[in-house]
Amino acid sequence: MKKIAVISGKGGTGKTIVTGALADQLNAKMIICDADADASNLDLILKPEILRRIPHAGLKIAEIDQDKCIGCGECYEFCRFDSVIDRKDGTYIIDSLKCEGCGVCGLVCPAECIELKENICGEVFISGSPYGTVVHSELNAGSGATGLLVHEIKKNALEEATDEDLMLIDGPPGIGCPLQSTMSGTDYALIVTEPSQSGLHDLKRLVEVLEKLPVEIFACINKADLNPEITEEIISYLTDSEVPMLGTIPFDKNVIESVRSGIPVTKTDSPASDAVKEICNNLSEKIL
């Protein structure tokens, strides 16, 4: 099974719109993952029906037994994540949003009153949809460690997959932990960028990251007509970097309308739909 991730560097360039269109258009049996775990929106387009829910345990979280705590403050001294709060009354508590579950506080506590507790911070869903099985998730807001959740989502998708030809992944923005986790073991990346100085700057950083990984890169430009000069600049950058351009998508109000109606843009009759269909065809020729 080949794996392709739709990514962007900069947020909000149209990854999810393009992923939804690929799910609709690619002529392959697919398993689809939403790996943009802290802004997971693909379900708003694919309308998956949840079949199974799997609790997601994030990094463990330290807990201080206040009855046994002697108030020495060793945990506060040694924690490198600033997650022990000194309440200035001789007691200490753990800021669960900042704790990374390393266990150093428990290691240094002379009263042995700190333990790491399991932390269920979200759910992974295995769902059915007209486009194939969808693996997506819901993360409790602010609970962090999305790289770990992305890993869980992909692992579940691999377990669910039977005779699928393709794993289609809606990726996260950025170039850090969630992106690295998305790209690990992935064969292809389709970059969705947009013609702005920010879009171009972020694209360059993303390509630099991808060039270090064993992955074949493609790109497309969304809302290309909003700034034709920068679109030209992006195309020439992509040519220089030997990243194949699969097409451009015009700015089109039908895109927002398709999201509002909860359907892939390729199910509408619009200029954006035609453009995205061409990109899907071009991609299909390269990878299927």
Partner 1 sequence: MKIAVASGKGGTGKSTVSVNLAYTLALKEKVVLADCDVEEPNLHLFFDAEETEKEVKVPLPTFDMEKCTLCGDCARFCNYGALIVSKEKLLFLKEMCHSCGGCRILCPAGAVGETEVSIGRILKSEPTENLTLITGILNIGEIKAPEVIKDVKITAEKIPDSQITILDSPPGTACSMVETVDSIDFSILVAESTPFGMHDIKLAAEVVKERNIPACIVINRSDGQDEAIEKLSEEMSIPILMRIPFEKEIARIQGNGEILSAHSEKYRNEFMTLSDRIRKIMGDAS
Q: Which of 132, 144, 171, 264 binds partner 1 (CB under 8 A)?
A: 144
Half-sphere exposure for 283 (CA within 13 Å, toward CB): 34
When the beta carbons of 14 and 132 are compared against partner 1, the nearer one is 14
Residue that the structure tokens 């992935």 belong to: 186
Piece of the chain touching partner 1 by CB under 8 A; list 5-13, 65-73, 160-168, 265-273 = 5-13
Q: Does residue 201 belong to the site contacting partner 1 (CB under 8 A)? A: yes
Piece of the chain touching partner 1 by CB under 8 A; list 22-30, 127-135, 204-212, 277-285 = 204-212
What's the rounded Cα separation, in Å, for the pair 286 and 288? Answer: 6
Cβ at position 208, least distance to partner 1 in Å: 5
Binding-site string for partner 1 from residue 239 to residue 278, where x marks contact by CB under 8 A and - marks none: ------------x-x--x--xx-x----------------
Q: Does residue 122 belong to the site contacting partner 1 (CB under 8 A)? A: no
Spell out the SS3 assignment of 268-284: CCCHHHHHHHHHHHHHH
Who contacts 23 (Cβ-Cβ below 8 Å, separation ≥6)? 30, 32, 46, 129, 131, 132, 168, 264
Provide the token pair at 122: 């979200």
Cβ at position 42, least distance to partner 1 in Å: 10
Cβ at position 1, least distance to partner 1 in Å: 25
Q: Does residue 130 belong to the site contacting partner 1 (CB under 8 A)? A: no
**Residues 150-189 contacting partner 1, CB under 8 A:** 172-180
Q: In Å, how far are 5, 8, 13, 60, 95 from 179, measured between CA atoms?
A: 10, 10, 16, 22, 26
Provide the token pair at 163: 């005779």
When the beta carbons of 100 and 160 are compared against partner 1, the nearer one is 100
Q: Does residue 146 belong to the site contacting partner 1 (CB under 8 A)? A: yes
**Of 39, 41, 42, 40, which Cα lies nearest the Cα of 22?**
42
Cβ at position 223, least distance to partner 1 in Å: 8
Q: Does residue 215 belong to the site contacting partner 1 (CB under 8 A)? A: no
Q: Which of 29, 60, 267, 277 binds partner 1 (CB under 8 A)?
A: 60
Count residues contacting partner 1 (CB under 8 A)?
Answer: 66
Q: Which of 198, 232, 236, 288 binds partner 1 (CB under 8 A)?
A: 198
When the beta carbons of 128 and 262 are compared against partner 1, the nearer one is 262
* Site residues for partner 1 per CB under 8 A: 8-13, 16, 37-39, 41, 44, 59-60, 78, 80-81, 97-98, 100-104, 107-108, 116, 139, 141-147, 172-180, 194-199, 201-202, 205, 208-209, 212, 223, 226-227, 230, 251, 253, 256, 259-260, 262
